[in-house]
């Protein structure tokens, strides 16, 4: 393996925020390529073009760096979901909107970054419970809130009080995301392609709509 040339951190010439962004981006790359144990701060520093001291100025240990990386990835995922929901705003059909949003959710889950981070969360939460809390609150809870708001737009006023949209959103997310998350967590990413994703989402949404006939 060709030896890599060392990086001189003093040549970066960027401010604090730029260095922090590069550190998180580099950490995601390294966590994707190596196991958590084998991902070294030396390699992250090299790719981020910073010193190890710069990393430890922001993050006391690798678990703190993983939490920051996870938070960044989840924020990007939520932003994509919001964009998709906004893009479908004028569609009269809730079923079609949920199918489009569902494809966005599945694509995010199956992305290389989220596949790796999901596995890391499962493995490292035992050592650092805060990782699981961040994943749940910044991922699952925020997704559920967004879907709940979408569903509330399609409830006839006569049935508004009878339907718990938050619970319904949890059911929708379970139907759409459980199988993709499970299969990727056990290394079966290869079973998914554009056709199988579409089929899965359409079937999941159809099941959801039959369970909630009160939704338009």
Q: d(Cα 187, Cα 97) in Å, to the nearest integer?
A: 30
* Cβ proximity of 176 and 105 under 8 Å: yes
Q: Superfamily assignment of 63-211 in CATH? A: Tetracycline Repressor, domain 2 (1.10.357.10)
Q: Give the pLDDT band of residue 158 (cuts 50, 70, 90).
A: low
Domain 9-13+15-58 belongs to what architecture? Orthogonal Bundle (1.10)
What pLDDT sits at residue 66? 93
Counted residue by residue, the chain has a size of: 216
pLDDT digits (tens, 9 = 90+) for 25-71: 999 999 988 888 899 999 999 999 999 999 999 999 999 999 999 99
**Whether residue 12 has pLDDT greater than 80:** no
**Whether residue 8 has pLDDT greater than 80:** no
What pLDDT sits at residue 17? 86
Please tell me the pTM assigned to this model: 0.83
pLDDT digits (tens, 9 = 90+) for 202-214: 999 999 999 998 7
From residue 202, alpha-carbon distances to 93, 97, 110, 168, 184 in Å are: 14, 11, 17, 17, 20
Q: d(Cα 99, Cα 87) in Å, to the nearest integer?
A: 13
User: How buried is 16 (Cβ within 10 angstroms: 0-12 exposed, 13-18 middle, 19+ buried)?
Assistant: exposed
Burial 72-102 (b: 16+ CB within 10 A, else e): bbbeebbeebeebbeebeeeeebeebbbebb
Locate CATH 1.10.357.10 in the chain. Answer: 63-211
Q: How is residue 137 written in tokens?
A: 């609150």
What pLDDT sits at residue 123? 87
Locate CATH 1.10.10.60 in the chain. Answer: 9-13+15-58
User: How buried is 13 (Cβ within 10 angstroms: 0-12 exposed, 13-18 middle, 19+ buried)?
Assistant: exposed
* Cβ proximity of 65 and 59 under 8 Å: yes
In terms of pLDDT, which residue wins out, 176 or 183? Answer: 176
CB-based contacts of 170, cutoff 8 Å, min separation 6: 144
């Amino acid at each position: 393996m060709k030896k890599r040339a060392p990086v001189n951190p003093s040549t970066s010439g960027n401010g604090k925020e730029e260095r922090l962004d590069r550190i998180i981006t580099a950490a995601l790359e390294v966590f994707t390529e190596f196991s958590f144990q084998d991902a070294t701060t030396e390699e992250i520093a090299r790719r981020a073009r910073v010193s190890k001291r710069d990393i430890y100025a922001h993050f006391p240990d690798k678990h703190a760096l993983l939490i920051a990386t996870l938070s960044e990835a989840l924020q990007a995922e939520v932003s994509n979901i919001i964009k998709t929901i906004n893009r479908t705003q004028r569609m009269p059909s809730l079923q079609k909107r949920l199918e489009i949003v569902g494809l966005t959710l599945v694509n995010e889950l199956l992305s290389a970054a989220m596949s790796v981070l999901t596995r890391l969360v499962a493995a490292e939460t035992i050592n650092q419970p805060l990782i699981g809390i961040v994943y749940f609150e910044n991922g699952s809870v925020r997704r559920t809130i967004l879907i709940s708001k979408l569903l509330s737009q399609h409830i006839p006023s006569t049935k508004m009080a009878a339907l718990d949209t938050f619970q319904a959103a949890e059911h929708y997310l379970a139907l759409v995301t459980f199988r993709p998350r499970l299969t990727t967590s056990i290394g079966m990413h290869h079973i998914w392609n554009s056709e199988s994703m579409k089929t899965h989402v359409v079937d999941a949404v159809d099941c959801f709509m039959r369970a909630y006939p009160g939704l338009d």
